[in-house]
Amino acid sequence: MNREKTFRNRFDMRLHRLQDAAERFETALKEQTTTLADQTREGWKRGQRKVEDWEDQVERSVKKNPLLFLGGALGLIGLLIAKMLFDRRHGIK
């Protein structure tokens, strides 16, 4: 009887230690998950602000130099047409 009691006490002690370790692990995991979610959210917001700033900068640049961008667009269209004509002339599909 005494051995059973000793065995039960040891088993209970070890079980409690295991449960405590599991609780600590769970708490640490939750904290890390929360930290990672916060960092991801902040990174997303920073990225959105950077894209918005870049869009504003491009918009200002186009408004300042509309002829430059118009010339660039026409040049690009001209190159595409030239490539189509070149491909047609040489039979490339």
Q: What is the pLDDT of residue 93?
A: 61
Opening angle at CA 55, ends 53 and 60, nearest 5: 95
Pick the closest to residue 50 from 16, 74, 42, 78 (CA basis). 42
Q: What is the pLDDT of residue 23?
A: 92
The pLDDT tens digits for 75-86 are: 999 999 999 999
User: Average pLDDT for residues 32-37, to the nearest whole number?
Assistant: 96
Question: Would residue 39 count as lying in a domain?
Answer: yes
Looking at this protein, which amino acid is placed at residue 72? G
- Name the percent of the chain lying above pLDDT 70: 91
Q: Into how many domains does the chain fold?
A: 1
Note down the domain range covering 58.
Answer: 2-64
Its sign, for the CA torsion 47, 48, 51, 57, is negative
Question: Would residue 42 count as lying in a domain?
Answer: yes
Question: Would residue 49 count as lying in a domain?
Answer: yes
CA atoms in the 13 A half-sphere facing the CB of 42:
6
Question: Would residue 84 count as lying in a domain?
Answer: no
Q: What is the pLDDT of residue 1?
A: 56
User: Average pLDDT for residues 47-60, to the nearest whole number?
Assistant: 95
Question: Would residue 30 count as lying in a domain?
Answer: yes
Is the pTM above the cut of 0.85? no
Question: Would residue 44 count as lying in a domain?
Answer: yes
Position 66 pLDDT exceeds 60? yes
DSSP 93: -
